[in-house]
Amino acid sequence: MLENKATTIPGMFKRHVGVKFDCCHVYTRVYTNKEGTAYEGRCPKCLRTIRIKIHKDGVNCKFFSAL
Ligand SMILES: [Zn+2]
């Protein structure tokens, strides 16, 4: 059985990344959305939402700063 090549499983990026929220000086994890196109998360204190786009090549950096 051949694998269906149209079904590309996004495996180039991690499921979550650590993000430092500068707004409240807290560090938390954000997870990929279900499409796997971006990391989406919220500041645990002020509930500000952030979105980090995932590039096709993957994300080099493991940690992000939410400005
Ligand atoms: Zn905040």
Distance 23 CA to ligand 1 centre (A): 4
19-41 residue pLDDT tens? 999 999 999 999 999 888 889 99
pTM above 0.85, yes or no: no
CA of 66 to the centre of ligand 1 (A): 9
Distance 22 CA to ligand 1 centre (A): 7
Give residue 27's pLDDT: 93
CA of 63 to the centre of ligand 1 (A): 17
Three-class HEC string of the chain: CCCCCCCCCCCCCCCEEEEEECCCCEEEEEEECCCCCEEEEECCCCCCEEEEECCCCCCCCCEEEEC
